[in-house]
């Protein structure tokens, strides 16, 4: 997929103006986030599970080469073929070769973000194959020639009316007068059409939520069951998975499964979790005759060397985007590549480079909600800050921003000049803006004033207010010291007199009794 | 092996070597030394991995499953019902056939089943239900009702574990619009890990059935404007029959 992350600002502007997108996004904050909050309340161990999940992934990543080798050994023993792809292009070529060898005309696909990352569909279509996305959300966006806007709800940006229009256009052999305004009717229509694709498919391609080193199994998690029909009905099953998907044992996967659905959709569990180990066995009446696992690196092995290793703990639940105010305002497409939201803002620059994706780490209000909900405790804001540093270090920060920053830095190092300037400008601005209390327009500040007013300053600088505050504090301290001196003097006088009668203590006991 | 595929396999083997090498190098170079990757020998790291793989250590357990067997069954049932599955209790295996026939009648479903024939299903006595027909083997698009036997049930989320095999076709779990699943009450356990233990006992360590399906209700989707709809691709209805006494 061609990245447009460089155009993030323009993309975001368009997204905010897009009324249909805004309508589609309006339900997001109340949906997934609220459901996650309920699921978390129902599980007292949730926060503890996050620690354990993080530790499982950290351990696995620290031994990733060995767990991958172990996975490969077990998968081959179960009859799978394992392929290694260093780059997206390698993965595309390997998968196309398998499809060509299987004489594939129709390829059915389960939802896979990795297949989006390597732009698999376009490649297979170029080789003359038909590719049918079978996850309902993926099917919807395939009809429109779009990319996913959310990693677990790829068509979340579409309204019911848009979907009806698309179905009427694409399913033109069905009677035009049919009813198609209820989601149930649309699901039934898609089910019937996609069922034929499952049955006719020569190859089924799925992603993997996990690879299990202990058993050589690949795991998919779905609610629709489309991945299962994809991999059970075609003669050849291809799994495409990135290196960080491996976990040691079934027990490790079980713990992470406890976090996945709850973090993603707020479900206690997804409807279907399927562990597949090798091709059809002797006597099996169904299942694929051939099973291939393609393991993709595409830049990840290098991420292990530094702070961005933490990103490889990600289990692609989407909680960070569900809780992100920026994502909620602009949706996923504005991020310009496969992974949107906070995880996209840190993953995309690592995978396609800071030069291509440098804008994305700036798409944050640093509110910290992404880190607060991440089941794998990935420090997303910290990593975004690091990427901003890298952007600055590589000289990719916009010129106007740099000039402004340099000017400010010079003044900041010359406090007297800074104060002089501030004392000149601020009172002037205060007088100019006094009537409205705010500015609608200011030179060099269009980035701010195009969208909101800038409140006019109150006339005094922070430094002046601070100095004033200090003076007040000192005065107060002096007063207090004087008072204390007086009290001490009085005490000394009282000490010479007999003690007063003890009434206060009984009153206190009474009030305690009332309170309890 | 053809020339091209031999070339491709050599390329993949080079890629394997390069990827695994880069992983190790990156870990060793990292500020934390890759948690031992920089300092330990290959043998030490491998020993850590082998020990972890052999231990099958349970990483987490939920308070909600610290319960008596009867309470676990109740929890299992309540999760399944919450996920819009129907649950039917029968007292003994001899009652399974009648319960299925009744469910089919009540839901206006054809008296015809696509089913597996593993030991448990094969032992069902159908003599009381002369109208009911069953067909063995992989499911087809025209099958309306499927019948399977679950290896285990897990109370923590109301999840059934079904293992595929020669006598348990995986397609039965996904093709028919109605899926009936029979489970023995004694096979209902608390956690996922307990179910894995049962599977390891039945199939041997490191040997998985070709497919293990964890199923927690009917197929569903929220992809049309966030509205939850049942029967996206798999069954619209799931009926779980719990057999009390074996």
Chain segment A295-315, per-residue pLDDT in tens: 999 999 999 998 899 999 999
Residue A309: inside a domain, yes or no? no
How many Å is the Cα radius of gyration of chain A? 31
H or E element, residue B91 = none
Domain end point (choices B37, B55, B73): B55
Tell if the CB–CB gap between A228 and B192 is shorter than 8 Å.
no
B147 touches chain A (CB under 8 A): no
- Give the predicted TM-score (pTM) of the model: 0.87
Do A293 and A417 fall within a single domain?
no
CA distance B46 to B48: 5
Tell if the CB–CB gap between B170 and A228 is shorter than 8 Å.
yes
Do A416 and A295 fall within a single domain?
no
Q: Which residue has the higher pLDDT, A478 or B20?
A: B20
Please state the φ and ψ torsions of residue A390, each to the nearest 5 degrees: -65, -40
Residue A389: inside a domain, yes or no? no
Do B36 and B151 fall within a single domain?
no
What are the residues whose beta carbons fall under 8 Å from the beta carbon of A478, sequence distance 6 or more?
A: none
Residue A297, SS3 per DSSP = coil
Residue A513: inside a domain, yes or no? no
User: How many residue pairs bridge chain A and chain B with CB atoms within 8 Å of each other?
Assistant: 280
Window 61-90 of B, Cβ < 8 Å to A: 62-64, 79, 83
Residue A196 in this model has a pLDDT that exceeds 70: yes
Do A292 and A412 fall within a single domain?
no
Do B27 and B118 fall within a single domain?
no
- Of these ranges, A18-27, A354-363, B187-196, the one predicted with the greatest mean pLDDT is B187-196
Range of the domain at B190: 63-243
- Which CATH number do you get for residue A211? 3.40.50.10420
pLDDT for the residue numbered B109: 98
Residue A482: inside a domain, yes or no? yes
Residue A2: inside a domain, yes or no? no
Domain end point (choices A286, A303, A320): A303
Domain end point (choices A271, A303, A335): A303
Range of the domain at A88: 43-303
Chain B residues with beta carbon closer than 8 angstroms to that of A318: none
Residue A6: inside a domain, yes or no? no
Residue A470: inside a domain, yes or no? yes
SS3 content of chain B, % helix, strand, coil (to 5): 40, 20, 40
Mean pLDDT calculated for residue range A361-380: 94
Tell if the CB–CB gap between B210 and A158 is shorter than 8 Å.
no
pLDDT for the residue numbered B2: 54
Do B147 and B207 fall within a single domain?
yes
Closest by Cβ to B49, choosing from A66, A276, A283? A66
Do B123 and B220 fall within a single domain?
yes
CA distance A188 to B78: 28
Residue A268 in this model has a pLDDT that exceeds 50: yes
Q: Which residue has the higher pLDDT, A346 or B38?
A: A346
Do B14 and B114 fall within a single domain?
no
Tell if the CB–CB gap between A153 and B223 is shorter than 8 Å.
yes
Do B98 and B139 fall within a single domain?
yes
Residue A516 in this model has a pLDDT that exceeds 70: no
Do B227 and B110 fall within a single domain?
yes
B193 touches chain A (CB under 8 A): yes
Q: A127-131, A445-449, A510-514, B141-145: which has the minimum mean pLDDT?
A: A510-514
Which pair of tokens denotes residue A412? 């900041």
Mean pLDDT calculated for residue range B157-170: 96
Do A287 and A402 fall within a single domain?
no
Beta bridge partners of B242: B89, B183
Do B86 and B154 fall within a single domain?
yes
Do A284 and A409 fall within a single domain?
no
Do B72 and B151 fall within a single domain?
yes
- Which CATH number do you get for residue B158? 3.40.50.10420
Q: Which residue has the higher pLDDT, A209 or A26?
A: A209
Mean pLDDT calculated for residue range A279-291: 96
CA distance B1 to B24: 32
B232 touches chain A (CB under 8 A): yes
pLDDT for the residue numbered A504: 43
Confidence grade of residue A431 (pLDDT, cut at 50, 70, 90)? confident
Domains of chain A: total: 2
Chain B residues with beta carbon closer than 8 angstroms to that of A285: 137-138, 166, 169
Domains of chain B: total: 2
Which pair of tokens denotes residue A31? 């949906």
CA distance A143 to A170: 7
Residue A205 in this model has a pLDDT that exceeds 60: yes
Domain end point (choices B55, B72, B96): B55
Residue A492: inside a domain, yes or no? no
Confidence grade of residue B6 (pLDDT, cut at 50, 70, 90)? low
Nearest CA in chain A to B64: A43
Domain end point (choices B55, B77, B95): B55
Mean pLDDT for chain A overall: 89
pLDDT for the residue numbered A308: 93
Closest by Cβ to B213, choosing from A97, A272, A283? A272
| A37-47 pLDDT tens trace | 999 999 999 99
H or E element, residue A487 = helix A462-495
Window 5-64 of B, Cβ < 8 Å to A: 5, 8, 11-13, 15-16, 18-27, 29-31, 34-37, 45-46, 48-49, 52-53, 55-60, 62-64
Helix axes A183-200, A226-233, angle to 10 degrees: 20
Chain A residues with beta carbon closer than 8 angstroms to that of B157: 268-269
Residue of A92, A228, A253, A259 best to disrupt the B interface, most CBs of B under 10 A: A228
Give the rounded percent of residues in chain A with a pLDDT score beyond 90.
65
Give the rounded percent of residues in chain B with a pLDDT score beyond 70.
96
Instruction: Looking at chain B, list the stretches that DSSP marks H as alpha helix, in order from N- to C-terminal side.
Output: 3-29, 42-55, 69-82, 96-106, 119-122, 192-203
Do B136 and B229 fall within a single domain?
yes
Q: A7-21, A92-106, A250-264, B178-192: which has the minimum mean pLDDT?
A: A7-21
A342: closest CA of chain B, how far (Å): 22
Confidence grade of residue B62 (pLDDT, cut at 50, 70, 90)? very high
Torsion-angle region of A79 (φ positive above 0: left; ψ -120 to 50: alpha; else: beta): left
Tell if the CB–CB gap between B219 and A78 is shorter than 8 Å.
no
| A112-150 pLDDT tens trace | 999 999 999 999 999 999 999 999 999 999 999 999 999
Asked if residue A281 lies in contact with residue A245, where contact means CB atoms within 8 angstroms, the answer is: no
Do B21 and B92 fall within a single domain?
no
Q: How does DSSP assign A385-401, residue by residue?
A: HHHHHHHHHTT-S-HHH
Domain end point (choices A265, A281, A303): A303
Residue A2 in this model has a pLDDT that exceeds 80: no
Asked if residue B218 lies in contact with residue A177, where contact means CB atoms within 8 angstroms, the answer is: no
Do B133 and B226 fall within a single domain?
yes
């Amino acid at each position: 997929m061609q990245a447009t992350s460089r155009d993030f600002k323009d993309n975001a502007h368009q997204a905010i103006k897009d009324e249909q997108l805004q309508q589609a996004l309006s339900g997001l904050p109340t949906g997934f986030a609220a459901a996650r909050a309920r699921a978390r309340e129902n599980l007292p161990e949730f926060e503890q599970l996050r620690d354990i999940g993080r530790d499982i992934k950290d351990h696995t990543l620290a031994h990733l080469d060995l767990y991958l080798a172990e996975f490969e050994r077990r998968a081959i023993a179960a009859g799978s073929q394992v392929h290694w792809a260093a780059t997206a292009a390698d993965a595309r070529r390997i998968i196309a070769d398998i499809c060509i060898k299987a004489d594939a005309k129709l390829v059915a696909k389960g939802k896979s973000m990795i297949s989006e990352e390597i732009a698999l569909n376009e490649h297979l279509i170029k080789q003359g194959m038909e590719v049918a996305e079978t996850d309902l959300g993926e099917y919807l966006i395939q009809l429109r020639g779009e990319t996913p806007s959310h990693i677990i709800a790829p068509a979340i940006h579409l309204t019911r009316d848009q979907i009806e229009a698309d179905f009427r256009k694409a399913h033109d052999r069905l009677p035009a007068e049919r009813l198609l305004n209820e989601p149930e009717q649309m699901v039934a229509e898609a089910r019937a059409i996609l069922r034929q694709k499952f049955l006719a498919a020569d190859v089924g391609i799925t992603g993997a939520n996990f690879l299990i080193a202990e058993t050589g199994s690949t795991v998919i998690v779905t609610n629709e069951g489309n991945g299962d029909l994809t991999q059970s009905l075609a003669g050849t099953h291809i799994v495409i998975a990135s290196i960080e998907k491996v976990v040691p044992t079934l027990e490790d996967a079980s713990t992470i499964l406890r976090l996945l659905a709850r973090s993603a959709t707020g479900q206690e569990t997804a409807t279907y979790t399927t562990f597949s180990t090798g091709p059809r066995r002797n006597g099996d009446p169904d299942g694929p005759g051939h099973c291939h696992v393609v393991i993709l690196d595409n830049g990840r092995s290098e991420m292990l060397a530094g702070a961005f290793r933490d990103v490889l703990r990600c289990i692609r639940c989407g909680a960070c985007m569900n809780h992100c105010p920026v994502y909620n305002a602009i949706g996923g497409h504005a991020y310009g590549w496969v992974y949107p939201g906070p995880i996209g803002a840190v993953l995309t620059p690592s995978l396609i480079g800071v030069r291509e994706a440098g804008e994305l780490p700036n798409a944050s209000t640093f509110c910290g909600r992404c880190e607060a909900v991440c089941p794998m405790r990935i420090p997303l804001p910290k990593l975004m800050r690091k990427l901003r540093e890298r952007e600055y270090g590589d000289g990719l920060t916009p010129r106007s921003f740099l000039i402004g920053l340099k000017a400010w830095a010079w003044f900041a190092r010359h406090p007297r000049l800074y104060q002089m300037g501030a004392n000149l400008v601020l009172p002037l601005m205060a007088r100019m803006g006094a009537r409205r209390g705010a500015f609608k327009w200011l030179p060099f500040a269009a980035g701010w004033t195009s969208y909101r007013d800038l409140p006019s300053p109150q006339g005094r600088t922070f430094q002046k207010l601070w100095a004033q505050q200090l003076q007040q504090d000192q005065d107060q301290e002096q007063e207090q010291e004087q008072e204390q001196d007086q009290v001490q003097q009085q005490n000394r006088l009282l000490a010479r007199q007999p003690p007063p009668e003890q009434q206060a203590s009984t009153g206190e006991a009474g009030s305690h009794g009332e309170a309890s | 092996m053809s020339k091209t595929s031999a070339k491709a396999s050599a390329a993949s083997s080079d890629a394997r070597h390069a990827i695994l090498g880069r992983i190790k190098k990156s870990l060793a170079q990292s500020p934390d030394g890759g948690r031992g990757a920089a300092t330990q020998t290959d043998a030490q790291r491998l020993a850590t991995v082998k020990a972890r793989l052999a231990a099958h250590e349970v990483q987490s357990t939920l308070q909600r499953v610290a319960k008596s067997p009867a309470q676990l069954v109740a929890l299992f049932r309540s999760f399944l019902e919450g996920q819009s599955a129907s649950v039917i209790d029968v007292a003994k295996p001899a009652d399974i056939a009648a319960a299925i026939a009744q469910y089919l009648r009540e839901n206006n479903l054809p008296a015809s089943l696509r089913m597996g024939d593993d030991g448990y299903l094969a032992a069902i006595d159908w003599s009381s239900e002369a109208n009911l027909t069953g067909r063995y083997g992989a499911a087809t698009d025209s099958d309306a009702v499927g019948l399977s036997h679950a290896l285990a049930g897990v109370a923590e989320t109301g999840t059934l574990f079904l293992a595929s095999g020669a006598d348990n076709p995986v397609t039965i779990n996904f093709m028919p619009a109605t899926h009936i699943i029979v489970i023995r009450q004694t096979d209902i356990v608390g956690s996922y890990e307990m179910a894995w233990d049962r599977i390891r006992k039945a199939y041997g360590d490191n040997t998985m059935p070709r497919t293990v399906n964890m199923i927690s209700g009917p197929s569903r989707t929220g992809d049309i404007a966030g509205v939850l709809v049942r029967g996206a691709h798999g069954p619209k209805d799931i009926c779980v029959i719990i057999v009390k006494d074996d």
